[in-house]
Structure 1
């Protein structure tokens, strides 16, 4: 008998027992302490669980540890939820806690025996891990300041709520061909990143009316595509459009290969015209035909600093943290600070940072200054603001190199080296080719790979990718430079890029990188960093 392909195995596992039903098994495993069926481990993803790398385990520790991802709908966490998550981190996750690029939070070193207690605690404060992973709709990406930003084109809070109500644990969507990512935003800066969502809705004002641009088929990793413009819908048509496109993807998505199973692959197979015709037939109306909109460049998609809210008497504060890492103490300290200054809620961003939503105006400066005591910065350097990183080799089975600590050290190094640099620069450290930290859409992407050291040994390092940018129809993915870097040369290599840009006198790092990506002298200068200085 022919051996199952990866896709055949996953499809069989899902058909034999769906992911939602594994909750009963999780509870049974927790009580009995019996060995977990490997196929149930796959189903654990439906509750936000992945087995983690054994890299940090003691040699005599045979425990099967998991990473647990908690969904934060619309990125929101209130003070009570922060305290709950802090306690979970402290008691069950060795004080680990990180914000993700999908506005979630995740923990490590989770044991199955503790899952029933953890699930009960998060349920009691209105949180859940259901559909945080697996072949399901993932967390809906949103703008964290919708409804409170004075420049907001449309308050999408209720639309995102309606979409989440439809998706949340929906048994009809428990078996999609692959993961499926939706976004909706009324942000004037387009911070949601519609270009890399499977399906997204972006508010655009046309002739005095707000319409929602529908973009489809975007993604990174194996589906590295910029989303295509499908047309426009009215706000009242958004939810129906979500339902139709989602079920079309469920019923017709390509399931023969895991690498060809995203929505973008179905659109490639059918062609955009056929896909659009199918959607319109099922909707019973045609999408509004208008040209695509002009999008904000990726470098300007941020909300850092103190801003007056559209709610009288209140401000919101955009804050940066190091590489998304917050930890148990950080969560507890943040809850204390919010409470002290009469704020109630934060929202996570897709750059692993967060927004304090509702601080009284009189307390905004004091709150921002106090956050500095826990290394959270409302006026971050360009390097701390937009340096993101994936989980890395500490916990991820796919990673080949450490990323979190390296990202923190890199940002700190660049801050000291260029204290007066005031232009936004986006940097991503990714532990493997799976693009969890979006290395192909930033100015400077660093992707984990094997590198030859000075003695010719194969060791962990980074491949350098330059010049990525999200900007609607003129978006481009970064290009590989052919340069592979040992971690010990990473800081100096990035320093050299920034240094040469400053010395060039050009206005705009992105333009400088695009112009020099094929400049042999520039590329060679980066290779020379390998020479000891």
Structure 2
């Protein structure tokens, strides 16, 4: 492939900055010569171009016909990853090459910007799952739906069906602008400050699939909310907009930049600006171009926007944004107010139009195509044609008349979707884990679901005393797809040595993290205690032990996070 790349890079300005011993691979500073294999394949051919090959070559020739660089690289631009071959234990994850770990089937991620679905769209996803994906489906903490067991021969038909109802997998993975998180109650919440739907739609329609933004240093995550609960985990996104009222300019957004977790967690920072609704797309585009032009590309583990922000600082970042990428500077703005309420939206809530929405919790996001199809049928039978996904692996049914709420809840219960869940089910999320993920070391979904059941049995009677969900996030590897550093109890999958000296699957423990939209006054990262690890089968045992200690030792009104950060290490064992 010898296609010449089309690159839009604005001229770099002279700055007094520390000169690195090696180039970072910043296009606007060092030029566009690729400094690693990932950058080479991205410059050789835009990832978006692989769709034509999938449809015209690979779907006809089968898995064996796929070019390795497309398979392990560009396929991600269309929401496709090979999944883990069954039977490979976690101890071999780091020992095997990708082709040795992978099965000849794909995880396919359906992109759902803002988490907004019609019942027709949900039904199509469910039907695709049952017909092409062995009835698999997970609701993710990025508001997407993921399917498994997709064969390359079926991908064109899956795309056709999705696009027929206005859905896609475009840039659902890869070094691109990923799905835009949006408030799940956008446009319907009675206490909403502003409906961010127009801004979400403008960004998606103008820029998703734009070739000039389809080669970023790494993934790029966006969140926008107009709800006072701040329900989109904005503190861990690359670019986020949070509703605020300016004393002179009215309702708009507080701008946050540079958040991300993985192995080097960093919370986003405010730029101190006020963004009017009509300028959100322009500002988003400017920040995305900064990442493209100045982001670090030499080392993959330093290629997220958070590393650039850490080196530049907020003042310089804002100055570059306003002078090089925006038509005019942004006004200074106030910080968004402290969040109000629980941002997962579980339970029954009145809408601004007098109808109700009902938020339900699947067990750690695990559903199925059959459940999704049945949910579409159930919603329609109760007068609704709108479903929302959330960044907390939950599902919302909108537009329910008051006299039909209890009937809907009963129907949700029959589907395994609890609108009145225990605190433990409500507060637990889990990543894909070793069942499907090539990076995972430990099982997650099944272990977390088992822990929920055990905690309900052991501590269910203490829920009134606990008061609010104690978040339990279970991750199969160090990459934090389940946000372990911002959970009350975060579990990072790894191999550990048990009391008998045997190496077994387990988790390192993080304690006392949390985000604003999860009932905390402000975001914070959890602490780790040296040597504190639990076996994969012992999640409930550990959680019960530490929760009971919290209840015994806490000061009046003290949250789990505050207690965990102040407790002696002995109390956390």
User: Normalising by the residue count of structure 2, what TM-score does the alignment of the two structures yield?
Assistant: 0.86
Q: Is the 8 A contact 1:149 1:310 kept in 2?
A: yes
Which residue pairs with 2:77 in the alignment? 46
Separation of aligned partners in 1, 2:420 and 2:44: 52
Q: 1:339 to 1:211 in 2, by over 3 A?
A: closer
- How many residues align? The count is 516
Query: How many angstroms does 1:453 deviate by?
Result: 2.5
Separation of aligned partners in 2, 1:134 and 1:85: 22
Which residue pairs with 1:71 in the alignment? 111
Separation of aligned partners in 2, 1:196 and 1:473: 16
Which residue pairs with 1:20 in the alignment? 48
2:137 to 84, 93, 97: 97
Alignment of 1:34-433 (within 5 A): 34-41=64-71, 42-56=73-87, 64-207=104-247, 209-230=250-271, 231-281=273-323, 282-296=325-339, 300-312=342-354, 314-420=355-461, 421=463, 422-433=467-478
Query: How many angstroms does 1:474 deviate by?
Result: 4.6
Separation of aligned partners in 2, 1:240 and 1:473: 30
Query: How many angstroms does 1:168 deviate by?
Result: 1.9
Q: 1:35 to 1:6 in 2, by over 3 A?
A: farther
| Alignment pair present for 1:8 and 2:36 | yes
Moved more, 223-232 or 103-112: 223-232
Which residue pairs with 2:19 in the alignment? none
Q: Is the 8 A contact 1:300 1:424 kept in 2?
A: no
Q: 1:35 to 1:454 in 2, by over 3 A?
A: farther
**What do residues 168-203 of structure 1 show as CA deviations (whole Å, max 9, x unaligned)?**
211111111110011111011001111111011111
Task: Say which SS state the counterpart of residue 478 (structure 2) adopts.
Answer: coil
**Where does structure 1 lack aligned partners over 5 or more consecutive residues?**
527-533
RMSD: 2.2
Separation of aligned partners in 1, 2:376 and 2:245: 37
Q: Is the 8 A contact 2:141 2:390 kept in 1?
A: yes
Q: Is the 8 A contact 1:22 1:44 kept in 2?
A: yes
Query: How many angstroms does 1:63 deviate by?
Result: 5.3
Separation of aligned partners in 2, 1:459 and 1:307: 44
Q: Is the 8 A contact 1:343 1:360 kept in 2?
A: no
Query: How many angstroms does 1:295 deviate by?
Result: 3.1
Moved more, 145-154 or 420-429: 420-429
Task: Say which SS state the counterpart of residue 364 (structure 2) adopts.
Answer: coil
Task: Say which SS state the counterpart of residue 366 (structure 2) adopts.
Answer: coil
User: Normalising by the residue count of structure 1, what TM-score does the alignment of the two structures yield?
Assistant: 0.92
**What do residues 53-74 of structure 1 show as CA deviations (whole Å, max 9, x unaligned)?**
11259xxx99511111000121
**What do residues 142-189 of structure 1 show as CA deviations (whole Å, max 9, x unaligned)?**
110011111111111111111111222111111111100111110110
Query: How many angstroms does 1:114 deviate by?
Result: 1.2
Task: Say which SS state the counterpart of residue 335 (structure 2) adopts.
Answer: coil
Which residue pairs with 1:496 in the alignment? 545
Q: Is the 8 A contact 2:102 2:438 kept in 1?
A: no
Q: Is the 8 A contact 2:263 2:478 kept in 1?
A: no
Which residue pairs with 1:510 in the alignment? 561
Separation of aligned partners in 1, 2:439 and 2:474: 14
Moved segments of 4+, more than 3 Å? 471-474
Q: Is the 8 A contact 1:6 1:258 kept in 2?
A: no
Which residue pairs with 1:530 in the alignment? none
Query: How many angstroms does 1:338 deviate by?
Result: 0.9
Separation of aligned partners in 2, 1:520 and 1:242: 43
Moved more, 413-422 or 395-404: 413-422
Task: Say which SS state the counterpart of residue 120 (structure 1) adopts.
Answer: helix
Query: How many angstroms does 1:473 deviate by?
Result: 9.3
| Alignment pair present for 1:465 and 2:494 | no
Query: How many angstroms does 1:269 deviate by?
Result: 2.8
Task: Say which SS state the counterpart of residue 449 (structure 1) adopts.
Answer: strand
Separation of aligned partners in 2, 1:290 and 1:65: 49
**What do residues 220-256 of structure 1 show as CA deviations (whole Å, max 9, x unaligned)?**
1145111111121211221111111111211111111
Task: Say which SS state the counterpart of residue 121 (structure 2) adopts.
Answer: helix
Task: Say which SS state the counterpart of residue 511 (structure 1) adopts.
Answer: helix
Separation of aligned partners in 2, 1:286 and 1:19: 33
**Where does structure 2 lack aligned partners over 5 or more consecutive residues?**
1-32, 89-100
Separation of aligned partners in 2, 1:492 and 1:246: 44
Which residue pairs with 1:529 in the alignment? none
Moved more, 366-375 or 481-490: 481-490
Task: Say which SS state the counterpart of residue 326 (structure 1) adopts.
Answer: strand
**What do residues 326-375 of structure 1 show as CA deviations (whole Å, max 9, x unaligned)?**
11221122112112111111110001101112222321221112111111
Q: 1:406 to 1:239 in 2, by over 3 A?
A: same
Separation of aligned partners in 1, 2:494 and 2:34: 23
Separation of aligned partners in 2, 1:520 and 1:321: 34
Task: Say which SS state the counterpart of residue 129 (structure 1) adopts.
Answer: coil
